[in-house]
Amino acid sequence: MAMQKEISNRKLLLVAGSGWMFDAMDVGILSFVIAALKVDWDLSIQEMGWIGSINSIGMAVGATVFGLMADRIGRKNVFIITLLLFSICSGASAFTTSLIFFLILRFFIGMGLGGELPVASTLVSESVPADRRGRTVVLLESFWAVGWLLAAVISYFIIPEFGWRWALILSTLPAFYALYLRIHLPDSPRFAAVSKTERPSVMEGVSKLWSEEYGKRTLMLWILWFCVVFSYYGMFLWLPSVMVLKGFSMVKSFGYVLIMTLAQLPGYFSAAWLIEKMGRKFVLVVYLIGTALSAYLFGSAETLGLLITAGIFLSFFNLGAWGALYAYTPEQYPTKIRGSGAGMAAAIGRVGGILGPLLVPYLTANEVSISVIFAIFCVSVLVGAAAVFFMGKETMHTELV
């Protein structure tokens, strides 16, 4: 029986993780596509910024809408809807010929992506024993690194030779297979135990998040999510373009970003090990401080060696922190409002994801140096770390209710 349950948990991790991987492929490829579209469509740096930001606007809407839906119709159903929306629109975006239609599709892709990620972590959290819950969710997040790695490989070999359209098509096709697997996935046992009459309405769910019992947790999560997502999308969507601004060719920049991306995997695995040994707060605070220092060094680096080294540490610490963030968030709330709480925290984060990519071209156009821009992201990450340190509650090995 124990062996069967272990196999079931592994299957859940693989099925949920596969969708996570394809989502990461899309976001990762987008960072390379932005650099290619600048050449193909003669985009201004402000238009390039809007491509990343419209994606985050969709993610904010999707995280809110689908997070609330997950507490009404179930985690599995929302899981399927979000991947279907993402897959269809992502494939269609490969055939667009104008920026406006590309932006519209990016909005709906963002909705699917934004809705899927918090719901996936909620589903896995509710299906795994407490002593392995944190590690499993961090491992789920590690599929993001695999997706980014595939995106970097596809972009390095496909975009310069065959163009960005083929890169988008290649990133979409496997997602339909993940959709097939997901249909056979069981729903969360904790959600299934909640009767329809006990499920809160939208307004009840939102008001509960700001009740005396959960208000401090909600505030802490909203600050943390905003700071982390603001800095992540501001930095990582612009990595290939920043490399170009620092004087490297597009092909060389893609290669260097591929090297940096490889560091994401040990970042996740180290966080997965530490999170059940040292706790959620320890991993979040330490890895966020590591992210902040790496961001500052990356922005101020003037030699190739220092640039790549800082980029490697930036990937290592930032993505390890992301894993802990997704493990920590669902643990703050009971089952009845867990989807709403995780979804709305992620939605607030996506507001940061809108502002981050817009900040870079705006400041660059005003001749603000890359070092100052990355110093701003450094401060943002430190604010997020402070929110967890002073306001966060340790949830390691606690049973979900």
The pLDDT tens digits of the residues spanning 115-164 come to 988 888 898 899 888 888 989 999 988 888 788 778 878 887 888 888 88
**pLDDT (0 to 100) of residue 281:** 97
**pLDDT (0 to 100) of residue 4:** 46
Amino acid at 108: F
Residue 228, domain extent? 8-188+198-391
What is the rounded average pLDDT for all residues in the chain? 86
CB 98 within 8 A of CB 310: no
CB 109 within 8 A of CB 321: no
Q: How many residues does the chain have?
A: 401
Report yes or no on 24 lying in a domain: yes
Pair of tokens at residue 325 = 């963030």
Q: What percent of the chain has pLDDT over 70?
A: 93
pLDDT category at 16 given cuts 50, 70, 90 is confident
List all residues 6 or more positions away from 254 whose beta carbon is below 8 Å from its beta carbon: 32, 152, 155, 156, 159, 160, 240
CB 176 within 8 A of CB 83: no
**pLDDT (0 to 100) of residue 248:** 65
pLDDT digits (tens, 9 = 90+) for 61-79: 999 999 999 998 989 889 8
CB 57 within 8 A of CB 355: no
Q: Which of 111, 381, 5 is nearest to 230 (CA)?
A: 381
Residue 333 has pLDDT above 80, yes or no: yes
What is the rounded average pLDDT of the residues 88-94? 88
**pLDDT (0 to 100) of residue 84:** 84
What is the rounded average pLDDT of the residues 57-62? 92
Which range among 101-110, 118-127, 166-175, 187-196 has the greatest average pLDDT?
101-110
Report yes or no on 255 lying in a domain: yes
pLDDT category at 1 given cuts 50, 70, 90 is very low
Least confident among 207-221, 231-245, 332-346 = 231-245
What is the rounded average pLDDT of the residues 361-382? 88
Output DSSP code: residue 79. Answer: H
CB 138 within 8 A of CB 366: no
pLDDT category at 251 given cuts 50, 70, 90 is low
What is the rounded average pLDDT of the residues 189-200? 84
Handedness of CA 379, 383, 385, 386 (dihedral sign): positive
How many whole angstroms separate alpha carbon 251 and alpha carbon 266?
A: 25
pTM of the model: 0.85
**Read out DSSP for 266-280?**
HHHHHHHHHHTTT-H
The CATH number linked to 150 is 1.20.1250.20
pLDDT category at 5 given cuts 50, 70, 90 is low
Report yes or no on 239 lying in a domain: yes
* Number of domains composing the chain: 1
**pLDDT (0 to 100) of residue 378:** 95
**pLDDT (0 to 100) of residue 360:** 82
Residue 3 has pLDDT above 50, yes or no: no
Distances (CA, A) of 395 to 9, 131, 281: 21, 11, 8
List all residues 6 or more positions away from 13 whose beta carbon is below 8 Å from its beta carbon: 124, 136, 139, 140
pLDDT digits (tens, 9 = 90+) for 279-316: 999 999 999 999 999 999 988 887 878 888 888 999 99
How many whole angstroms separate alpha carbon 237 and alpha carbon 359?
A: 12
Report yes or no on 397 lying in a domain: no
pLDDT digits (tens, 9 = 90+) for 24-47: 887 778 877 887 888 889 888 778
CA-only gyration radius of the chain, Å:
20
Kindly tell me the burial class for residue 206, based on how many C-beta atoms sit within 10 Å of its own C-beta (0-12, 13-18, 19 or more): middle
Report yes or no on 2 lying in a domain: no
**pLDDT (0 to 100) of residue 292:** 97
Least confident among 85-89, 224-228, 261-265 = 261-265
pLDDT digits (tens, 9 = 90+) for 200-210: 888 888 899 99
Report yes or no on 398 lying in a domain: no
**pLDDT (0 to 100) of residue 252:** 60
Q: What is the dihedral of CA 77, 78, 81, 83, to 10 degrees?
A: -120
**pLDDT (0 to 100) of residue 254:** 63
Report yes or no on 400 lying in a domain: no
CB 100 within 8 A of CB 241: no
Which range among 108-117, 161-170, 375-384 has the greatest average pLDDT?
375-384
Distances (CA, A) of 150 to 153, 172, 194: 5, 12, 39
pLDDT category at 247 given cuts 50, 70, 90 is low
Kindly tell me the burial class for residue 71, based on how many C-beta atoms sit within 10 Å of its own C-beta (0-12, 13-18, 19 or more): buried
**pLDDT (0 to 100) of residue 13:** 85
**pLDDT (0 to 100) of residue 246:** 67
**Read out DSSP for 289-333?**
HHHHHHHHHHHH--SHHHHHHHHHHHHHHHHHHHHHHHHHTGGGS
**CA angle at 260 for the pair 258 and 261, rounded to the nearest 5°:** 65
- How many CB atoms neighbour CB 305 within 10 A? 8
Report yes or no on 396 lying in a domain: no
